């Protein structure tokens, strides 16, 4: 199945061979093979191209074997790689829901691949059959985002499974925000769906957007393609070290999760009570979408108060909507205080 989906040049590609790959498995302590500078250790050495130590640790936390895991420079990297591996520029196309995370379209545009956007229903639920109807014989990928950005809702599992079963191409389920709910993550179902790619990131629950570390989970065959096409040393040593530090201190991550969820449960009803609020949409993520009277004005008013939220008013189905990230208790109180004082202008 996979061979028919992969671009011919990628199938035929002979990947770059790293100096360290060639001696692997043997003992050595003098490295004169990679034209590095012998001083300034450990930063003088190229990092592990496959991040094996980090993946072994992550395998335990994520419940997915290292062989089914790809690590990249943020989720941006696997998003881009999906296009470069599967989509022939100007010939193939992808289908996605709308509204959703903007990088799927940007990466399509960069790779010169047609992007077909299919609206969600009014309640932001996924119309699986509408997405399937938008596909044709050149559709290589369907992009799903659950919980969805900017709407915040997790998509119905049955609808995602329907697409995974019916569609013959690759289905990407971006679960960047799945740590903020208790639904079963799709990365645990790779055995059932050979066409599934799941995205996770260190940028959300793991509070490490600055280190740029994204994860993709998929079959070993798909992971092998990612590894073939990626830059050889795509995840730098500092990032690998910092991720290990975090993985050795999971107490913090659990505390952050509990705090964000508690704050979310306080913030939602408080926003809903504001006279300027038309609707607060149910969220399974660490942000909430709120429909506000005169969102544009409220957005600028908040900026004058030193508070930045995301104005999504010009996004399909999101007229007059602000997307608000759950912050610390102090930040959330400051936001509520400012909104309560807003008098329209």
| Interacting span for ligand PMP (CB under 6 A) from 57-65, 69-77, 225-233, 322-330 | 69-77
Q: How far is the CB of 298 from ligand PMP (least distance, A)?
A: 22
Q: Is 178 in the site for ligand PMP (CB under 6 A)?
A: no
Calpha distance 231→84 (Å, rounded): 12
Rounded to 10 degrees, what is the CA torsion of 88, 91, 92, 95? 140
Q: How far is the CB of 76 from ligand PMP (least distance, A)?
A: 4
| Interacting span for ligand PMP (CB under 6 A) from 30-38, 73-81, 301-309, 334-342 | 73-81
Calpha distance 314→324 (Å, rounded): 16
Q: How far is the CB of 231 from ligand PMP (least distance, A)?
A: 16
Contact at 8 Å (CB) between 179 and 63?
A: no
Q: How far is the CB of 221 from ligand PMP (least distance, A)?
A: 23
Q: Which residue has the tokens 């190229």?
A: 46
Calpha distance 202→199 (Å, rounded): 11
Calpha distance 265→263 (Å, rounded): 5
The nearer residue to ligand PMP, 7 or 204, going by C-beta atoms, is: 204
Q: Give the pair of three-digit tokens for residue 304.
A: 């004058």
Q: Is 174 in the site for ligand PMP (CB under 6 A)?
A: yes
The nearer residue to ligand PMP, 135 or 286, going by C-beta atoms, is: 286
Q: Is 268 in the site for ligand PMP (CB under 6 A)?
A: no
Calpha distance 275→293 (Å, rounded): 9
| Interacting span for ligand PMP (CB under 6 A) from 72-80, 181-189, 264-272, 317-325 | 72-80
**The length of the chain, given as a count of residues:** 345
The nearer residue to ligand PMP, 101 or 226, going by C-beta atoms, is: 101
Calpha distance 304→302 (Å, rounded): 5
Contact at 8 Å (CB) between 224 and 216?
A: no
The nearer residue to ligand PMP, 325 or 333, going by C-beta atoms, is: 325
* Contact with ligand PMP (CB under 6 A) among 214, 292, 302, 311: 214
* Contact with ligand PMP (CB under 6 A) among 7, 62, 66, 74: 74
For residue 101, give the nearest of 13, 191, 26, 173 by alpha carbon. 173
Binding site for ligand PMP (CB under 6 A): 74-76, 101, 145, 149, 174, 176, 201, 203, 209, 214
């Amino acid at each position: 199945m996979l061979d028919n989906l992969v671009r011919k040049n990628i199938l035929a590609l002979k990947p770059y061979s790293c100096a360290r790959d060639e001696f692997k498995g043997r003992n050595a302590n003098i490295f004169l093979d990679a034209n590095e500078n012998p001083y300034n250790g450990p930063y003088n050495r190229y990092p592990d191209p496959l991040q094996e130590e980090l993946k072994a640790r992550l395998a335990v936390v994520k419940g997915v074997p290292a062989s089914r895991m790809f690590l990249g420079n943020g989720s941006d990297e696997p998003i881009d790689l999906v296009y470069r591996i599967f989509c022939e520029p100007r010939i193939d196309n992808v289908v996605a829901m709308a509204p959703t995370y903007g990088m799927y379209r940007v990466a399509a545009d960069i790779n010169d691949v047609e992007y077909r956007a299919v609206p969600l229903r009014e309640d932001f639920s996924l119309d699986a059959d509408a997405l399937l109807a938008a596909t044709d014989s050149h559709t290589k990928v369907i992009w799903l985002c659950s919980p969805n950005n900017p709407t915040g809702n997790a998509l119905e599992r049955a609808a995602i499974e329907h697409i995974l079963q019916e569609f013959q191409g690759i289905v990407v389920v971006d679960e960047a925000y799945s740590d903020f709910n208790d639904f079963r993550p799709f990365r645990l179902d790779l055995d059932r769906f050979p066409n599934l790619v799941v995205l996770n990131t260190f940028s959300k629950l793991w509070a490490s957007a600055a280190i740029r570390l994204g994860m993709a989970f998929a079959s070993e065959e798909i992971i092998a393609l990612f590894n073939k096409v990626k830059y050889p040393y795509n995840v730098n040593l500092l990032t690998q070290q910092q991720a290990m530090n975090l993985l050795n201190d999971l107490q913090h991550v659990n505390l952050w999760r509990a705090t964000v969820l508690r704050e979310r449960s306080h913030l939602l009803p408080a926003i809903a009570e504001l006279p300027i609020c038309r609707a607060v949409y149910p969220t399974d993520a660490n942000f909430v979408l709120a429909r506000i009277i005169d969102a544009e004005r409220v957005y600028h008013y908040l900026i004058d108060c030193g508070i930045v939220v995301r104005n999504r008013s010009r996004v399909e189905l999101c007229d007059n909507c602000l997307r608000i990230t759950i912050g610390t208790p102090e930040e959330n109180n400051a936001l509520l205080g400012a909104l309560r004082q807003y008098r329209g202008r």
